[in-house]
Chains A and B, each alone.
Chain A
Amino acid sequence: MEGAFILEKLILVVIVFTVSLVIAMYSTLAERKIAGFMQDRHGPNRAGFGGLLQPLCDGGKFFFKEEIIPAGAHRPLFILGPTLAIITACISSAVIPWGQTLTVGNREVVLQVADINVGVLYIFGVVALGVYGIMIGGWASNNKFSLLGAIRAASQSISYEIGMGLSLIALLMVTQTLSMSEIVAQQSGFVNWNIWVQPIGFLIFMTCAFAECNRVPFDLPECETELVGGYHTEYSSMKLGLYMFSEYINMFVSSALMAALYFGGYNFPFMHDLGLSQNWITILGVLAFFLKIFGFIFFFMWIRWTLPRFRYDQLMNLGWKMLIPLAIANIVLTGVITLIKDTYFA
């Protein structure tokens, strides 16, 4: 039984890994396509049908480009930077519940790699670790633009982690658990989605997720107009590719997190009224979950081609003077409402 369990988890890990890499790959295409459509043009459409092979070509190009490590760079750390970035991006998806249970033969397979009871905090910790990849890479490049980008990334991610954490506390007060699978299971049925109880919290969380992923309008660490390329100015070839990849994987994981925490995860309306077997419900649930994730990824890109980049002081003002007080107010509000509900309507 133990061997089967390990095998099952191993297969799941490989699948999750592959899926997140493929999604990250095709996010690059989607980004450019969506940018094209929003600017009334086609986007890449030469490689394959409608440009479908474009990410493969880009990947091939990344692999065959010359790798340059600057003479003044700190070699081991220069290599460690992108490695760390991609590792932290990949392991953060471990606690996301992708679906309910599948029955294969007489085994119940839970579609979640690890159901640890501090799942939300785990993601948080891994995301917090992600900034090391950028910082180490930026410092090891021995370039002032890289260093500035790295420093911006560090201060930005620390600032927005606080807001993110505080917005999550309000959510956790409602769900009363830190386990991802339980949080998702609680949201069965359209009206039970957490977005209806925590709209402000969701808004704060989403803003902070944008900042944590270094996406526009918070992409100051790699702001081309000021910092050449930010922390990856000196990077070339697949090392640059790894940084890009980790950014897109982070975006995918953040989307999955938002879908799971606030939009019911794999739950979809009328899932128990269709009279389907458990396996079919699970499969449809996984599809629904991915639909939500793609929706969020689209939203990420939609925002990117709508909003301009913030100035650095605006970024800090928004984080510290708007989002954190708002998140604290949200916690107090949630507490008061929970108390009233428990006292008078219990």
Chain B
Amino acid sequence: MEIMLTINNQKRRLLIEPDEYLLDTLRKAGIKSVKRGCDTTSCGMCSISVDNKLVNSCSYYSIRAVGKEILTVEGIPEEAGLIADFITAEGAEQCGFCSPGLVMAIHSMKHDLDDFSMENIKHYLAGNSCRCSGYEGQHRAILKYLEVK
């Protein structure tokens, strides 16, 4: 079926299977920042924002996104670049596969939280897993980034 999606402020006409998930639709549409890390909505590597809400695109039906604002890392180049500067300054990205999802989670967190205590930050990001870094580097980077913002 054909649907119209708004991806990173651009209207895109796309051909999808009826029960397709956004992760697949986005990747087919050339949005390669969105990664598949699991089959069970567990890893957070496909995190994107839909209408300002952080969601796992692997389990979000594409037709549900019609009429909504879909945002991926490609849609926030400046903010993503700045977050990337802080993460890479710590070397905390290592393999980088989970990083775009983490950037989207940080983007949403900034929108959603008022109190950026370490406990709150960790709780908010608990669904974004990383196997390389041991998380400590990410946390150092995020604290520094939030200080600047």
Same complex:
no
Interface residues of B (CB under 8 A from A): none
